[in-house]
């Protein structure tokens, strides 16, 4: 097979590419330049699009003896990932940019280019497994639960999965690092990336302040009483407890959590933990990793990256899904994805629009 290995300059994608070479595929490495302002060698700051990363990816490709290219997808990334991220916060929602990047860059723009150039598949260092099932290729959780990235891959369609390869899904991270060292790859000890790649200093609030500006507004209790002030509703996420700096303590002395963000009135509503309880999720922009299931069916749902799977029933329509949780859950934020699983297998995903409590309806 002709395989395009997406090489970030990190240890995972270097080992993924190496395994593709070992498997006898005709492998070409590609590094994506995603930022117009790559971090300089002098700052030492690291993002997925820094010059160091591009250099590391090239060195890994050289060590593997494979051709290597850098593709500039910074405009697509700016529009589809960064602008979407900013717009979502502007709308009072909490986006997941890694998921959007997988959806529109790595397995869309890159895959489309790769297929047009005669490649059969894109291989990445994501931790997830592809399993051949009765209806085609299935996406499953990785064996290493701490590294499992099936949630951020939950947006991939059956068509995209058919042209994807995840060579690391069966391996624990420790094994991947040891393998990189044994192969003599210089990235073997490079630290894992954690933050949002286009915010390398990790200060999301400052990034959003620069993009959206600051705007003072009210923090109110559920009955509308003002209990504090904020300087930008985009600093908050539904379920957040820290950083509220309420002027007036709650009468019962218990902590308050963000219940709702209204961008129209620039108001943040807070309340006690139990007021966060919801058991019904309405989500749009659905995508299906296999055939869409009619009627009401059982699944487990993950509502945030690294969240626990929750038992639920699902009703799917053309424009979204309704998820009926078996038990109420707390802090489910609009803008995040619901990823639906059948055991370890991803069935599909959608983006949370609203939540409700059936008993309160
Ligand atoms: N700038 C990039 N260019 C090419 N591929 C990339 C880039 N960023 C990420 N990828 C691909 O997406 C995969 C997952 O990206 P993620 O940001 O989660 O990296 P990671 O788990 O830290 O992996 P790595 O150790 O390879 O950086 C990478 O393993 C790689 O295959």
Q: Return the CATH number at 99.
A: 3.40.50.620
- Same domain for 175 and 26: yes
Task: Please state the atom number of ligand 1 nearest to the C-alpha of residue 33.
Answer: 1
ipTM score assigned to the predicted complex: 0.97
Average pLDDT score, the chain: 92
Q: From the CB of 34, is ligand 1 less than 6 Å away?
A: yes
Q: From the CB of 102, is ligand 1 less than 6 Å away?
A: no
Distance 35 CA to ligand 1 centre (A): 14
Q: Is the pLDDT of residue 250 over 80?
A: no
**Reported confidence tier of residue 43, pLDDT bands at 50, 70, 90:** very low
Q: Where in the sequence is the domain holding 66, given as residue range(s)?
A: 2-125+167-189
- Same domain for 175 and 33: yes
Q: From the CB of 125, is ligand 1 less than 6 Å away?
A: yes
Task: Look at residue 238 in the predicted model and tell me its pLDDT.
Answer: 95
Q: Is the pLDDT of residue 267 over 60?
A: yes
Check residue 198 and report its DSSP letter. Answer: T
Strand partners, 4: 28, 122
Query: Catalytic annotation on 312?
Result: no
**Reported confidence tier of residue 49, pLDDT bands at 50, 70, 90:** low
Q: From the CB of 161, is ligand 1 less than 6 Å away?
A: no
Task: Look at residue 41 in the predicted model and tell me its pLDDT.
Answer: 36
Average pLDDT over residues 341-348: 97
Q: Has residue 56 been placed in a domain?
A: yes
Average pLDDT over residues 54-66: 96
Closest by CA to 339, choosing from 162, 149, 169, is 149
- Same domain for 222 and 99: no
Task: Please state the atom number of ligand 1 nearest to the C-alpha of residue 125.
Answer: 29
pTM: 0.93
Average pLDDT over residues 23-47: 72
- Same domain for 184 and 223: no
- Same domain for 94 and 10: yes
- Same domain for 185 and 121: yes
| Of 164-178, 216-230, 247-261, 287-301, the least confident | 247-261
Q: Is the pLDDT of residue 39 over 60?
A: no
Task: Look at residue 195 in the predicted model and tell me its pLDDT.
Answer: 78
Q: How many domains does the chain have?
A: 2
Best residue among 3, 5, 7, 8 to mutate for probing ligand 1's pocket (most ligand atoms within 8 Å of CB) is 8
Q: Has residue 57 been placed in a domain?
A: yes
Distance 13 CA to ligand 1 centre (A): 6
- Rounded percentage of the chain residues whose pLDDT exceeds 70: 95
User: Alpha-carbon torsion 222, 226, 229, 232, what sign?
Assistant: positive
Q: Is the pLDDT of residue 361 over 80?
A: no
- Same domain for 8 and 62: yes
Average pLDDT over residues 69-91: 95
With b meaning 16 or more CB within 10 Å and e meaning fewer, what string describes 24-61?
ebebbbbbbbbbeebbeeeeeebbbbbebbbebbbbbb
């Amino acid at each position: 097979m002709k395989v395009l290995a997406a090489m970030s300059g990190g240890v995972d994608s270097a080992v993924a590419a190496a395994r593709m070479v070992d498997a006898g595929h005709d492998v070409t490495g590609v590094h994506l330049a995603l930022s117009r302002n790559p971090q300089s060698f002098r700052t030492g700051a690291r993002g997925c699009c820094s010059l160091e990363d591009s250099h590391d990816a090239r060195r890994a490709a050289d060590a593997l003896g494979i051709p290597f290219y850098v593709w500039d997808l910074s405009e697509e990334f700016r529009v589809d990932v960064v602008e979407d991220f900013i717009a979502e916060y502007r709308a009072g929602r909490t986006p997941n940019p890694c998921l959007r990047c997988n959806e529109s860059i790595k397995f869309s723009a890159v895959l489309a280019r790769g297929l047009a150039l005669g490649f059969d598949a894109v291989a990445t260092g994501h931790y997830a497994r592809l399993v051949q099932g009765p209806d085609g290729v299935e996406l499953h959780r990785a064996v290493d639960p701490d590294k499992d990235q099936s949630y951020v891959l939950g947006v991939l369609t059956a068509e995209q999965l058919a042209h994807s390869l995840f060579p690391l899904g069966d391996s624990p991270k420790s094994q991947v690092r040891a393998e990189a060292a044994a192969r003599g790859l210089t990235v073997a000890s490079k630290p894992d990336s954690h933050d949002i790649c286009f915010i390398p200093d990790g200060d999301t609030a400052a990034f959003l302040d620069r993009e959206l500006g600051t705007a003072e507004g009210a923090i109110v209790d559920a009955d509308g009483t003002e209990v504090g002030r904020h300087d930008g509703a985009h600093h908050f996420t539904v379920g957040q407890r820290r950083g509220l700096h309420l002027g007036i303590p709650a009468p019962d002395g218990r902590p308050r959590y963000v219940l709702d963000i209204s961008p129209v009135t620039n108001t943040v509503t807070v309340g006690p933990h139990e007021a966060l309880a919801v058991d019904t999720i309405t989500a749009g922009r659905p995508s299906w990793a296999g055939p869409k299931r009619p009627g009401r069916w059982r699944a487990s749902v993950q509502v945030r990256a690294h969240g626990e799977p929750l038992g639920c029933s699902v009703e799917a329509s053309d424009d979204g899904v309704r998820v009926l949780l078996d038990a109420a859950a707390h802090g489910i934020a609009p803008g995040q994805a619901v990823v639906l699983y059948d055991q370890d297998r991803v069935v599909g995903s959608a983006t949370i629009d609203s939540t409700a409590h059936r008993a309160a309806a």
